[in-house]
Structure 1
C-alpha cells in the first residue's frame, strides 16, 4: 500500500512538472513557413524591365530563356543573342517602333539602351 501511495505521489509530481508550460506558448515545432505571397528568391528579378542596372554574374539562363524574358517586356524582332564574359545576354530588339540594344542579367533583369 505504501508503494502505491509513493508511486501515485511521484506520478502526480512528474505530471505537474511536465504539465502546461506557459513559456512555450506560440512556439512552433518544425520548419517555419512564410505566409508571404511575394516571391522569396532574390536571384530572380520579377520587376518590370526598363532602365534597371544589370548585375554581372554566372548566368544559368539559356538563350531561349533570355529571349523570352526580353519578349515578355514587350520587345519584338529580337536579333541574334550573345553572352559576354560577365554572363550578360545582349541583342538588338524593337519596341514601339524603336530599335534598342537590350540586355538580360543573371537575375532576369532586362535593360535597354538606345542604339
Structure 2
C-alpha cells in the first residue's frame, strides 16, 4: 500500500513538473532543421538528361526486353538484337517509321539516344 502511495505521489510530481502546454511559449513541431544551404552531393547526378541525346555510362540493370521496350516507347522499331557494351549501354539498330536504320542506345537511366 505504501509503495502505491509513493508511486502515485512521484507520478503527480513529475506531471506537475512538466507544466501546462497552454502556458508554454511556443510548441516545438518536428525535428530541428538547419536553415543553412547544404552542399550538393556530387555523387548524385541531378541533371535532366531525358531530353538530351547523350547517354550516361553506368551499371545497367535493364534486361534486353526492357531496353527494347524503352526504344519502342520513343517511336522506334528495333530491327535486330540489342547488345550491352562494357559501360552498361544497350545498343542496336532501329528506325522510325519510313526512316533509315540508325544505331539506338539506352543507358542505365532509360534515356534513349539515336546516333
- Shorter-chain TM-score: what band? 0.5 to 0.7
Summarize deviations over 1:3-35 as a string: whole Å, max 9, x none: x7xx65x5444113334366663227xxxxxxx
Does the CA contact (< 8 Å) of 1:67 and 1:78 recur in 2? no
Task: Indicate the SS of the match to 1:86.
Answer: coil
> For structure 2, which runs of at least 5 residues remain unmatched after alignment?
32-43
TM-score of the aligned structures, taking structure 2 as reference length: 0.61
RMSD of aligned C-alpha atoms? 3.3
1:76 equivalent to 2:89? Answer no
Residue 62 of structure 1 aligns with which residue?
63
- Structure-1 residue corresponding to 2:112: 110
- Please give the secondary structure, in 2, of the residue aligned with 1:91: strand
TM-score (norm: length of structure 1): 0.61
Could you tell me which of 16, 22, 30 is aligned with 1:27?
Answer: 30
User: How many residues of Structure 1 are paired with residues of Structure 2 in the alignment?
Assistant: 92
Q: Which has the higher contact order (CA 8 A, sep 6+)?
A: 1
Distance 1:70 1:106 in 2: 13
SS of aligned partner of 2:75? coil
The answer to whether the Cα contact below 8 Å between 2:68 and 2:78 also exists between their aligned partners in 1 is: no
